[in-house]
Amino acid sequence: MSQRFVVIMAGGRGERFWPQSREASPKHLLPIVGDTSMLAQTVDRVTGLVPKENIFVITNQSQLEGCRKACTGLPPANIVAEPIGRDTAAAAGLAMLLVKERSANGVMAMLPADHVIHDTTEYQKLLAVAFESAESADVLVTLGIKPTEPATGFGYIQQSGLWKKFGGRDVMTVKRFVEKPDQATAQSYVESGEYFWNAGMFVWRVPVVEAAFKAHAAELYAGLAKLETASKSAGGWAPALAEVYPTLKKISVDYALMEKSTNVVVVPATFDWDDVGAWPAIAKHFKQDDAGNVLRGIAMVEGGSNNIVVSADGHLTAIVGASDLVVVHTPEATLVCPKDKAQDIKALLERLKKDPERKKFL
């Protein structure tokens, strides 16, 4: 059996959780749902599945300190910072090299740091199925989420029939990976019953993914080879990353590898899953009052309903006579936004980025 690894991808911002998410305190370092950070919950969720020393976290410089604090159970050297973001294919390449250094035929799960999954038992069972799949053949394994609605914010995975069974669970062959669809296309995907959401969870062996890079992303593959060589020099990873990483081609793992590979299989996820993409999504994870309000911290709603109010630091945040609002207070900034406009927070953040006096609020 190959040695098993987990690499948690923790380099995002989670901008849509502004103002609670900030540059140095992104979504995965916050207890958006639950009492510990999303990253700590992700580490807890794979504990027992692989040894602690086989869990890596890939983050960025500004979050490195926070990630180390959130993952005190992991060896500090396993928390690795990209010197600059180069999209998910480069991050997958770095993950591959980190694992390869420890085990040339290692099998690794790449998992996002900021999803909510409560059913850990089922989750570990399905990850074990994915590991077994990747160990049994030269395949790129992904976990697919059964769509509950025609969402346009995810890529989709079309399955094309049973491939194998492990532990009584089906693993399906994959016909194709598709980009985020429009509403009508998403509707047809959901109705067909053949599609899963692509939640960015992948499992593969080092030689198999390396072959995929070589076959489908030659330029990036060359860069990764350079990075691997540099990492073996006296200075180790830090100077190698600083020198080579910024030169890597910026491309997503879906586009670079998954859409082009023909040896992809999908494990249909049978655990609960929520990517909690924006503030309105937290409502279902918390107790609501009789009027459907979710109140965290010192928050009050008078004569309104279905509001989400998050406040902290002894500050009272009160909504009077308003409905369907998200209101988030932090010591530095306050956001007020109708639930159905939560996607527009990005436009505000774009304005902040361009404002020399106010970009400190990012």
Among 69, 250, 341, 353, binds a second copy (CB under 8 A): 341
264-283 residues near a second copy, rule: CB under 8 A:
none
The distance of closest approach from Cβ of residue 283 to a second copy in the complex, given in angstroms and rounded to an integer, is 17
- The secondary structure of residue 28, as a DSSP letter, is G
Q: What is the DSSP letter of 342?
A: G
Q: Could you identify the residue written with the tokens 């740091």?
A: 113
Backbone phi, psi, residue 285, to 5°: -95, 0
Which of 167, 168, 193, 321 is the binder for a second copy (CB under 8 A)?
321
Q: Does 315 bind a second copy (CB under 8 A)?
A: yes
Task: Please report whether residue 334 would count as binding a second copy according to CB under 8 A.
Answer: yes
Of 2, 302, 308, 310, the one binding a second copy by CB under 8 A: 302
Report d(CA 287, CA 311) in Å as an integer: 16
Residue 62 CB, nearest distance to a second copy (Å)?
20
Considering only 165, 284, 303, 353, the residue that binds a second copy (CB under 8 A) is 303
CB 330 within 8 A of CB 320: no
Residue 10 CB neighbour total at 10 angstroms: 32
Phi, psi of 335 (to 5 degrees): -115, 135
User: How far apart are the C-alpha atoms of 354 and 119, rounded to whole Å?
Assistant: 42
Kindly give the interhelix angle for 218-231 and 237-244, rounded to the nearest 10 degrees: 150
Tell me if 332 contacts a second copy by CB under 8 A. Answer: yes
The binding track of 8-37 with respect to a second copy, each residue x by CB under 8 A or -, is -----------x------------------
3-state secondary structure of 166: strand
Any contact of residue 316 with a second copy (CB under 8 A)? yes
Which pair of tokens denotes residue 32? Answer: 């958006």
Is residue 347 at the binding interface for a second copy, with CB under 8 A as the rule? yes
Closest to a second copy by CB, 193 or 321: 321
Report how far residue 241's alpha carbon sits from residue 91's, in angstroms, rounded to the nearest whole number. 11
Q: Which 3-state string (H, E, C) describes 190-243? A: HHHCCEEEEEEEEEEEHHHHHHHHHHHCHHHHHHHHHHHHHHCCCCCHHHHHHH
Q: Which stretch binds a second copy (CB under 8 A): 83-91, 203-211, 270-278, 325-333?
A: 325-333
Q: Could you give the 3-state DSSP secondary structure of residue 16?
A: helix
Looking at the Cβ atoms of 207 and 297, the one nearer to a second copy is 297
Shortest distance, CB of residue 321 to a second copy, whole angstroms?
A: 3
Rank residues 286 and 361 by Cβ distance to a second copy and give the closer one.
Answer: 361
Under the binding rule (CB under 8 A), the answer on residue 336 touching a second copy is yes
DSSP 255: I
Q: Locate 225 and state its tokens.
A: 């080879």
Peptide bond into 19 cis (omega under 30): yes
* 290 binds a second copy, rule: CB under 8 A: no
Q: Does 89 bind a second copy (CB under 8 A)?
A: no
Q: Does residue 113 sit in helix, strand or coil?
A: coil
311 forms part of the interface with a second copy (CB under 8 A):
yes
Contact residue for a second copy among 4, 100, 115, 329 (CB under 8 A): 329
Q: Answer yes or no whether residue 292 interacts with a second copy by CB under 8 A.
A: no
Closer CB to a second copy, 7 or 345, in the complex: 345
**300 is a contact residue toward a second copy (CB under 8 A):** yes
> Which one of the spans 42-50, 101-109, 141-149, 332-340 is the region binding a second copy (CB under 8 A)?
332-340
DSSP state of 307: -
Whichever of 64 and 281 has its CB closer to a second copy, that residue is: 281
* Contacting residue, 153, 284, 344, 353, with a second copy by CB under 8 A: 344
Asked if 361 is part of the footprint of a second copy (rule: CB under 8 A), the reply reads yes
- Other beta carbons within 10 angstroms of residue 248's beta carbon come to 24
The C-alpha atoms of residue 158 and residue 185 are separated, in whole angstroms, by 13
Which residues would be at the binding site for a second copy (CB under 8 A)? 19, 298, 300, 302-303, 311, 315-322, 325, 327, 329, 331-338, 340-342, 344-345, 347-348, 351, 358, 361
